[in-house]
Structure 1
Amino acid sequence: MQRNIIFEDRHIIIAYKPAGIATQTARVGQQDMVSELKNYLAKKPEYNGKKEPYLGLVHRLDQPVSGLLVFSKTRQASRALGRQITNGQIQKYYYTVIYGKPEREQGSLTDYLYKDPKTNRSMIVKEDFPQAKKAVLDFKLIKTLFVFEESIDWEDFGTVPHLGEASLIEIKLLTGRHHQIRAQMSHAGMPLLGDTKYGSESSKELSRKTGCKSVALCAYKLTFSHPVSGKNLTFEKQPEGEIFFPFFSSGI
């Protein structure tokens, strides 16, 4: 866990959550970030096994999603960061890889989402739908690449056919709704690779052919004010998933 800690002081911890690990869970035997970080803190000399460390959960990432999370180490920091979350002062940026190329290079999406508790799925609904919540995000195209079949040396055939296009998109999340990015992007015709719940048949097929088994979504940047000093802080980490590698191998 220590290798996933990006920054730590007396008040906060910034940690990278790998895809597939829960932020927090009550399931016995399942790994989660909160438990792992508490175990890490408990080994520090100031605790010496005498008391359980305090760790405040400020925000979450879905289990299939990777990226940066901020945790508080004191109740004072937790309250201050909670106010920033409520006021929209913690800015969260994501990288995602979508199927195809967007019609616009940048834009905003505004929808209303309803979370169906039976299916654990968020649906795009009308504004007056019961329990609908407004969801807003900004997106920007970074790069589009052709996806080729790696197992065949197409140069021997004189042509280089491709399986399709995939695009790296930067997203600024302006509201924090259940499965917001996945639901909104798919509804807008930009389904995420690796997303079996919200993806289109074409995106699922390309995901299978590229071996993308996890949702291609990473919270790569956080910007907020330190809960005690008030200093403006920004943390970034490049996505680790293989589906992201071709976009960053030659720089973006």
Structure 2
Amino acid sequence: MTIDILFEDNHVLAVVKPPGIPSQEDETRDPDMLTLLKDDLKLRYDKPGNVFLGLVHRLDRPVGGAMVFAKTSKAASRLSEAVRSRNFGKTYMCIVQGTPAKRTATLKHYIRKDAKRNLAVVFDSPAAEAKEAILDYTVMATVQGFSLLAVKLHTGRTHQIRAQLAHIGCPLVGDSKYGAVKRKDIADVQLWSTSVSFPHPVTKETLTFRSLPERNAAWGWWTIEELEAASTVFIADSPTRGR
């Protein structure tokens, strides 16, 4: 399997995760990003024994796009702290059924993970065991009852984008788990990690890595210019690398 590398140095590895691959090994035992990249590093650098690679953040299995891994334990610790302190920016684009009532808005809900059903339960006000979930969105374009949204996450809750947008009546295309109409022509949830931005764990330089989906499935409903515009709405002024 070929995985696009956006950036690599001695501390950080930024790649494009293909849709349909788990971020790390799960109960299916299907090939996962962490294992695939460890095997690749071992092969490319002819490393004996085990290869260290730290999982900094996760993308849901159906979701593709920019993803970052740490190549040393020190980098893993510092990047994990950046995530915890909300100094790790994450932006996405998605395609939803319908159109949100407001063109641009901040959504604030409370999410509780239902582990038995692998679902995020959304509440409008604080609830037992529910954690605050905040995101910004902007409607970029609409066509035939569907909308292309740019999204910025402020928190990283289970299925957050999928659950919050479904809660306001706009489930993501392909996401039958959260109420979207099933389609034979679309297998994956139409959600893409367009950028990740963070301070380099050693140099402290702000790095931003971008990715766009291929224009297949529902992504093909939009022009490349519309996808480009959606991918840059929430990116702050900072050095940008990748594609």
Taking structure 2 as the reference length, the TM-score comes to: 0.87
Instruction: Supply the distance in 1 between the matched residues of 2:55 and 2:40 (Cα, whole angstroms).
Output: 15
8 Å CA contact retained: 2:3, 2:18:
no
What pairs up with 1:1-252 in 2 under 5 angstroms?
1-27=1-27, 29-45=29-45, 47=47, 50-125=48-123, 127-146=125-144, 165-199=145-179, 203-204=180-181, 207-208=182-183, 211-240=185-214, 241-249=216-224, 251=226, 252=229
Deviations along 1:145-175, one digit per CA (max 9) or x if unpaired, are 12xxxxxxxxxxxxxxxxxx11110000110
CA contact under 8 A between 1:144 and 1:166: conserved in structure 2?
yes
- Change in 2 beyond 3 A, CA 1:77/1:125: same
Distance in 2 between the 1:221 and 1:228 partners?
Answer: 20
1:139 shift after superposition: 0.3
CA distance in structure 1 between the aligned counterparts of 2:46 and 2:160, rounded to whole angstroms: 40
- What is the CA distance between 1:3 and its match in structure 2? 3.8
**Contact preservation (8 Å) 2:100, 2:168:** no
Residue 155 of structure 2 aligns with an amino acid whose one-letter code is T
| 8 A contact 2:196–2:208 mirrored in 1 | yes
Partner of 1:157: none
Question: C-alpha separation between the residues in 1 aligned to 2:157 and 2:53?
Answer: 23
Question: Does the aligned pair in 1 maintain the 2:3–2:17 contact within 8 Å?
Answer: no
Aligned length: 226
> Does the CA contact (< 8 Å) of 1:2 and 1:40 recur in 2?
no
Divergent runs of 4+, >6 A? none
Q: Per-residue displacement from partner, 1:28-66 (whole Å, max 9, x unpaired)?
A: 75110000000001013351xx22111000000111111
Q: Per-residue deviation at 1:246?
A: 2.4
Match of 2:232 in 1: none
For the residue of structure 1 that corresponds to 2:52, the secondary structure is coil
Q: Tell me the SS of whatever aligns to 1:208.
A: coil
Q: Aligned with 1:43: secondary structure?
A: helix
Letter in 2 for 1:108: T
**How far apart in 2 are the matches of 1:11 and 1:213?**
35
Structure 1 length-normalised TM? 0.84
| Compared CA separation, residues 104 and 58, structure 1 to 2 (3 A) | same
Q: Share of identical aligned residues, percent?
A: 37
Instruction: Note the C-alpha offset of 1:222.
Output: 0.9
**Residue ranges of structure 2 left out of the alignment (5+ in a row):** 230-243
The structure-2 alpha-carbon separation of the partners of 1:141 and 1:37, relative to structure 1 and needing over 3 Å to count, comes to same
Per-residue deviation, 1:79: 1.1
Structure number with bigger Rg: 1
Residues 68 and 219, structure 1, Cα contact 8 Å, conserved in 2: yes
